[in-house]
Every structure is written in structure tokens, then in C-alpha cells.
Amino acid sequence: MSQDIKIDPQLEQPKLQEISRMVLAEAKKNGASSCEVGINFDTGLATNVRMGSVENIEFNCDQGIGVTVYFGQKKGSASTANFSSKSIQDTVKAACNICKYAAEDQYAGLAEKQLMATKIMDLDLYHPWDINPNQAIELAKECEEAGRNSDNNIINSDGSSLTTHQGCSIYANSHGFMGSTLTSRHSLSAILIAGKNNNMERDYWYTSARDPLELETANYVGTKAAERALKRLGAKKKSQNNVSVVFSAEVASSIVAHLLKAISGGALYRKSSFLLDQLNKKIFPDWVHIYENPHLLKKIGSSSFDQDGLATRKKDFINEGILTNYLLSTYSARRLNMTSTANSGGVSNVFIKPNTESQQDIISNLKTGILVTELMGSSVNLVNGTYSRAASGFWIENGEIQYPISEVTIAGNLRDMFQNITAVGNDIDQRNSIISGSILIENMTLAG
């Protein structure tokens, strides 16, 4: 495969903007009272190697148009991956025809015109990687080899993967709003297997960034994955009630994610959340601060506008332990007789503020407890808050890690878990749109 097949989404941007105008004009021509269109154009390269051999290499070039039209309070949607004029006309016509069969929905429609974002910020999200397939393969091999050669007890590998992605997305509507975003994301990962005395364990590590220059080195990723796998050898089972649980930074974001799902508009207007009617009530300890900052440069979750065309903004979700905002799109806000929080499509860079130093500082203060480094499966009921997940990690006694544990289940109720958060470390994992350090939660149940 040669570099010649690469397509720069930045060069496609004017074409995509013109297509969005064509869609809007076609919808008006077909009698729609309003219309919105989303267009995506993405290219990327992915390779995977295992035990020094190439398992696969893929180049992708994907595109799509999603059209939603409104005839009063009736809504119809259609999509296509074909950017020809005829396909655009047929897709708009199909969306319009669907409206004939749709029921009226008093909450349907575009966000109000006066709420549209008026300034599209450049958040420095586009850093394409000039890497060819041979270079990608060599980097993935280097990553795996570093891990395999780091210790004699690394006996196998599930492979090392490199991916690079860049794309352009457009959102436009008949209010005259058009927002265009260029993004890139790159990653390198390794999964390695350690073995000793008929015991085998596996673990992983990965690095991810908008800018390839900000990725961790291949040597670091490989050796980190090996180190984590080696530490899990000799794992035991453990059971105990009322145990302190330290969620390491790489899994702690899942705790915040459960909160965000429970306060999302869809769960609230369907009355399927254990946090229903909890706005302006205290659901965390006084010191807990969870907030969103969508305008940070280069961050994975950064965005200038949401999927309704509303300007994103910095906001609190939890301040002094109190739930101060729900997570609302235009539609869900209307269903709840509230105002959109500009979160159509999700959140952008949500942080939980640390109140202590490193993960080691948290561990040092524990008489007994566990450090969770991996969560598996999911048995989390957001209707009543019941929480139960398979986990692995390490047993802690007298402020020190004693031995690895696996095949255990940690359980509790999210309402109690939120109240029982006693520490958040400053060992922040920056790789995702929910950004957290290690989180200590008291009084959970551990079953082997």
C-alpha cells in the first residue's frame, strides 16, 4: 500500500460544506418546514502485529450523510453513503416521505434560532499523522518487542496495534447555522501475557492523543503492558464486606460515567434514573466538584458546539456535592420543560477535581482495601442504582499492596457509592473525555 491513497479530510471540507447546502435546499424544495444535516468524512490506517508478525493492516475511507426533516411537528430521517446529486435528492425525498407516516411530536424540531452558536472556535483538534503502512508496522512491532523482551516471564502476546484517524464533520440546519470540525486521533497499544508456575495473566497499556507527537513511546507502552501483566501473577480470590475500594485512574472514569448517564435527559424524561428529581440536592460529599470544560486545546472531548448547533460552555454538574445541572439536549430539555445544557451528543471533557495527592498517598492511608485496575462485564442498574462488576487488582494491608487478586466482584449501590467517595487522586488519566484520577470509595462489598 502506498502513501498515494491518502486523502486529506481538510481538502474535502469545502465539498462537504457545499453538500450540506445542497441538502438544505433540497429539503426546502420538497416542502419541509425545517431540516438538519450531519456529514462525516473519515480516513484512517490500522495495523496489528502479534509475535512479530503482521496480522492485519487496514486503510479506511468512510463517508456518510444523515438528513432529518420536519414538517411541522412530524419528523423523518434518512441516510446515505453516496455523495452524488441523485443520491442526495433521493435521501432527502425518503426522509420527507417518512414524515407522512410519523406521529406528531410536540417536542420535535430544531433548537431555537437565537440559541445557535455564533462563533466556531479553533480548538487545535486536527493533527494528521504522516505515517505509511511500513512505518506503522515497524512501530507496532517495536512496541510488542519491548514488552516481550522486558522479562523472561512474558511468555506470549495478544498483539500490538497502531491506529491513526482523521476526519471532518459538518452539522448544518435551516436556521443558517453551519459548523465544521476537523479532528484527528491516534493510538498505540499492547496486550501481553505473563506466565509462571502454571499461572498465566494478561494485561494491557495504550496511549492516545490528537497529536502523534504527544503519544507515549512504543518502548514505554510495551514495557508498561508487560509490567502490569507480571504484577498480576499469583492472583488470589478474596471476600470481605465493607471494604475500601480504590479505583485506579484508568477505570475511575466509569464511576463518573454512571453519574452522567443517570442525569442524562433521556433517562430522566423516561423516569428510568435513580437520580430523578435530584436537581439542586446533595448527592456527593461537600468537597466533590465535577465539571465540564469543552474548550481545552487538543483534548479528546473538546468541542465548540453540540449536535444541535448550540455553543458549548464550561459548567458544573456537581458543585459542593450538589447536583447543579442535568445533561440535556434540545429535545430532552423540552420534554422536561427545561433549557438545553448544550450536551446533545454527550459531554466534552468532564473532570472530577482531586482532593489529595497521588494514588500511593491514597493507598498509604488504608488499613485494608483493594486497588481495582480492571473492570469486566457490566451489571449496573441505573433505575435503582444497583452496582455489581467483576474486577481484578490488588489487596492492600497496612498501607501497602500485598498481592494481586482476580475473579472477584465488587458491589454496592451508586447512591451510597457517590456519598462514600473520600478521595480523588491527582494521578489523572487524560486519554478520554471523562478525566479522573484514582477514586477511593468506602464500604463496598467484595466477593470472591
Cell readout for 312 is 458549548
pLDDT of residue 8: 87
Q: CA–CA distance from 36 to each of 90, 99, 222, 265 (Å)?
A: 16, 14, 45, 21
Cell readout for 447 is 466477593
pLDDT of residue 448: 77
- Which residues of the chain form CATH 3.30.2290.10? 3-230
- CB 410 within 8 Å of CB 448: no
Q: Encode 18-31: b = buried (16+ Cβ within 10 Å), e = exposed.
A: ebbebbbebbeebe
Amino acid sitting at position 230: L
pLDDT of residue 6: 66
C-alpha R_g of the chain: 24
- CB 208 within 8 Å of CB 430: no
Q: What is the pLDDT tens value at each position of the chain, 448 positions in all?
A: 344 456 889 989 999 999 999 999 999 999 999 999 999 999 999 999 999 999 999 999 999 999 999 999 999 999 999 999 999 999 999 999 999 899 999 999 999 999 999 999 999 999 999 999 999 999 999 999 999 999 999 999 999 999 999 999 999 999 999 999 999 999 999 999 999 988 999 999 999 999 999 999 999 999 999 999 999 999 998 888 899 999 999 999 999 999 999 999 999 999 999 999 999 999 999 999 999 999 999 999 999 999 999 999 999 999 999 999 999 999 999 999 999 999 999 999 999 999 988 999 999 999 999 999 999 987 899 999 999 999 999 999 999 999 999 989 999 999 999 999 999 999 999 999 999 999 999 999 999 7
CATH tag, 3-230: 3.30.2290.10
Q: CA–CA distance from 179 to each of 69, 303, 309 (Å)?
A: 18, 11, 7
Q: How far apart are the first and last CA of the chain?
A: 50
CA–CA distance, 174 with 28 (Å, rounded to integer): 9
CA–CA distance, 84 with 8 (Å, rounded to integer): 20
- CB 392 within 8 Å of CB 373: yes
Cβ atoms within 10 Å, residue 122: 10
- CB 175 within 8 Å of CB 20: no
Question: Helix 133-148 vs helix 218-231: angle between axes, to the nearest 10 degrees?
Answer: 30
CA–CA distance, 330 with 335 (Å, rounded to integer): 9
Amino acid sitting at position 274: F
CA–CA distance, 392 with 243 (Å, rounded to integer): 14
pLDDT of residue 2: 40
Cβ atoms within 10 Å, residue 139: 19
Reading phi first (left if > 0) and then psi (alpha if -120 to 50, else beta), residue 250 is in alpha
Residue position matching grid coordinates 468537597: 287
Reading phi first (left if > 0) and then psi (alpha if -120 to 50, else beta), residue 124 is in left
pTM for the full predicted model: 0.93
Q: Which helix (H) or strand (E) holds 364?
A: helix 359-364
